[in-house]
Amino acid sequence: MTLKGFTLLENCKNIRAKFSENGETLVVLINPRESHGLSKSGKTTSIASTDKWVDVMESGLHLSVFLFAADPDSDVPILIESIRKGVDIDHEMGFTIDLTEEQHIRFTIHCTNEFGLSKSGKSTTVATTEGIIQLGTAKVYLKLHAYRKVGETTKGLTGIFQAVRSQSSGSKTSRKRSKAEASK
C-alpha cells in the first residue's frame, strides 16, 4: 500500500485519509515515526493531531484525532510490534486499527455506524475511543472521534462523496447533480 489516493487533511498534522469507493469506509493513515513537538502539557510528544474538528474532504463526516507518546523513540517501536501482534484496544467503537506494509498506522472507520447522539444532540457518533486510551503496552495514547450531523444518512454521505470525487475530476455539472441528490 502506498500513499497514492490519500489526502493530507487540512488543519492536521500527519493525518492522511481516503474514502472507499462506496463512501461507507474512511481509511486514515498516520506515520508513527513523525513527531510534531510537545503537547500542550509538555509531557508528551505529538505524533498526529487535528488542530480542530475537521470536515473530512467536505464530506459531512467530522473527525478529531490525537496520537501522542511519552517517548516516541522508545514507545513507537513497541506500538508497532503491539499492532502487528493484534493490539487489544479497550473502548474501541466503530473503527479498526492495523499496520500498512510501510508500517503506517491505519484506522478504518465504518461511516455507517451509529453509536448514539452527541451530548448536544446535533450529531451522531460514528466512531470513538470514548476518551484517551493507551495503545497496547507502549506509552502511546490515542483519542479518536468521528461524527456526522443528525439526519445525515449513508445515502446522503455517499452522494457527498460522489460530489467530492466529481469535484476532483473537474466536473462541475455532475458535482451540482450529486449535491442535489444528496440533499434529497
> Over the stretch 140-175, which tens digit does the pLDDT of each residue have?
989 888 888 887 654 445 544 454 444 444 433 333
Contacts of 84 (CB under 8 A, 6+ apart): 99
Query: What pLDDT score does 152 carry?
Result: 65
Whether 86 is covered by a domain: the verdict is yes
Do 41 and 120 have their domain in common?
yes
Do 169 and 120 have their domain in common?
no
**C-alpha grid cell, residue 89:** 484496544
| DSSP H helix total and E strand total for the chain | 3, 12
The structural domain count of the chain equals 2
Whether 147 is covered by a domain: the verdict is yes
Summarised one tens digit per residue, pLDDT across range 25-43 is: 889 999 999 888 888 788 8
Mean pLDDT, to the nearest integer, of 136-142?
86
Element (H, E) at 124: strand 123-128
Q: Which domain holds residue 170?
A: 153-184
Query: What pLDDT score does 170 carry?
Result: 45
Do 43 and 114 have their domain in common?
yes
Whether 166 is covered by a domain: the verdict is yes
Do 104 and 45 have their domain in common?
yes
Do 120 and 143 have their domain in common?
yes
**How many other CB atoms are there within 10 angstroms of residue 156's CB atom?**
18
Nearest in space to 111 (alpha carbons), one of 8, 16, 7, 20: 20
Amino acid at 152: E
Whether 1 is covered by a domain: the verdict is no
Do 147 and 77 have their domain in common?
yes
Long-range contacts of 109-114 (CB under 8 A, 24+ apart): 109/25, 109/26, 109/27, 109/28, 109/63, 109/146, 110/24, 110/25, 111/19, 111/23, 111/24, 111/25, 111/26, 111/61, 111/146, 111/148, 111/154, 111/157, 112/24, 112/154
Do 178 and 128 have their domain in common?
no
Whether 2 is covered by a domain: the verdict is no
Q: Please give the share of the chain, as a percent, with pLDDT higher than 70.
A: 77
Do 177 and 124 have their domain in common?
no
Q: Please give the share of the chain, as a percent, with pLDDT higher than 90.
A: 10
Summarised one tens digit per residue, pLDDT across range 118-128 is: 888 888 888 88
Provide the whole-model pTM: 0.76
Percent helix, percent strand, percent coil in the chain, to nearest 5 = 25, 35, 40
Do 109 and 23 have their domain in common?
yes
Do 80 and 18 have their domain in common?
yes
Q: Order across the sheet with 95-99: list the strands.
A: 7-8, 16-19, 25-30, 105-110, 95-99
